[in-house]
Structure 1
Amino acid sequence: MEQNQTNTRSAEPVLGAMYFGTRADEALSADLLDAYVDLGGRWVDTANCYAFWEDPSGVGGQSERVLGRWFASRPGVRDRVLLATKVRHQPLVPHEWPSSSEGLSADAIQRGFAQSLDRLGLDSVELLWAHAEDRSVPLAETVEAFGTLVANGSVQRLGASNHAAWRVEQARAIARGLGVEPWTAVQLRYSYVWPRPGVTLPEGGHVHAERDQLDHARTEGLDVWAYSPLLTGAYVRDDRPLSEGYDHPGTHRRLAVLAQVADELGVTRNQVVLAWLLAHGISPILGVSSLAQLTEAMAARDVDLPDDVRARLDAAV
């Protein structure tokens, strides 16, 4: 798959806060946030449903609450951090998902986002994502509701996570017709190796970036954020193998080139993957669970991929 991403804003590592308050306790979450900011990081990404599947409450909100307490305890840090959150997937009935997920009706968006702001202790965020599609609701209703949040100053920008390219562009056309703010960013699963086309990933709800989505983003100048960029450790840990959908000759060829480049540059394979994404204008979301992992990942910003090396990485298919 040829890569040619050029976005309207510079790509940068994003700190993913999915497991803050659940797998990562409050102290570790605060340490990771402090270190990320000290290392020059700016964006933190969460969602109102994080992480309902990890907590007895079964409804989520833990990550936003931890972030809210962190902001409150760090005077001035809000001026240094850009925050993104999401609505769509929060269960309305504990432990009943996806059957009770809030969806993307106008009422659900307004109510879900208001609750997010309450948990965060904030009056606005920099970016709000539609976490996934909701085809049970007219798209115009969803678009107008998101646009209203920008118009009233509660949100600066809008994005679509786990959406098909045609659906994003249809929403953008509706926004233009309504005279409201359009989606200007997309968030998808993406990394250096890809699953076979059309394969169903074992992680429910994950939508992998395909050629048309990346080409659409490049053509329209949309920012691209990539989640699971390090595939939960599969590049460096034998106990975290890639799922069956990645088992094809292209993966083996790319892994071989990745290992060669990492050895040549004297960096880790994870750092090469992150540097490659950044070089293509894609912002990787870092789901780290230790300060060492965070430091390693942020150091990828300093990994120089010469044109010939990048061409080798791109050419392995």
Structure 2
Amino acid sequence: MQTGTGYEDLAHWLSSGKKANAFVIHPPRLSPEENFPPPAGERFLGVYSSGSTGKPKLIWWNLKALHSNCSKYSNAAGWTWATCFQPWSFAGVHLACQAHISGGRVLSLGHDWQMNHSILQQDRPQAISVTPTFIDMLIQSRKNSKSTDWSPRQISIGGEILRASTGTRIRSTYPSSRITLIYGSAEAGVIAKTTRHDGWYPLTSIQKRFDDFKFVDNQLFLKRQGQWIPTHDLCEIRTDHFRLVGRLDRIMNIGGEKVSLDEVESVAESFPEVRRASANSMPNAVVGQIVSLKLEPAVAEADDALLETILNKMRKQLSKPAWPRWCEWGNIQDTNNGKKSYDTGAQKYE
């Protein structure tokens, strides 16, 4: 088995034939799983889960299976793919395989937005693979950048729920780019794809990749080789399409009622004055937990009066236990894998 530290090491292993039958990049500050060696025989790549339901775990993926999930883009030979995904995540490893089969390379982006714009302007990658939060922040920071004429041919989006408002901003900013929404996980691999930018996937996309699937209390389960795989993702179903609406671990028990923090965010982000929202739960002596909410404004005049107006409208759409009891305006940051941070630090606003 071989280990590395970044995309260059991963690309070198993919091109090296059978020098080592397995390769993995361990996340920083995480002890390697020495007691979980790769299977013998064919070539395998190690992928770490997100850790949203506990400690990130190492999962070994057969290289042939990863390659089978890569898209065959026409005229994509030699493309450079810019990304916010880390090289130990499934999205990062999948992208590295995508670049490898087309003779391309992966270009890492970080948290310095002016630096990101400079890199994109200088390298001019043909494609970008990012989360909805990351590309929305990239769009938001364009007004402060001198480099705004870069536009990718391909935009691949995954890792988070895509809100309709964010999808509209992406399409408006990059009208000529092809947009592909990819739903996947370290445990299940690529689950579904769509070229729609409103978050709806065709059910046929799941049927192509799995033996069977089912929704139990709105949670998606996938069947492969006789085993049912829980996704922990909650979905809305409409005839022959579905969309992600939340995570199971984002359901809180507040006053004896189940409250979806993702639903609270979705309602908040439906208002044009809100760029993005981050909902969390906070301890409360009376009901156990309450909802806290941070809103990043999309307008310059974001004051207490506007906050009160938005909260009043939200109360008409949410059950009482889901009403935000702590709320503030503020900037919402992204995490190391380009996903939205849920550290609200909100102030009381009842």
TM-score norm. by structure 2 comes to 0.27
Structure whose CA Rg is larger: 2
Query: Would you tell me which structure has more strand in proportion to its own residues?
Result: 2
Larger RCO (alpha carbons 8 Å, 6+ apart): 1
Normalising by structure 1, what TM-score?
A: 0.29
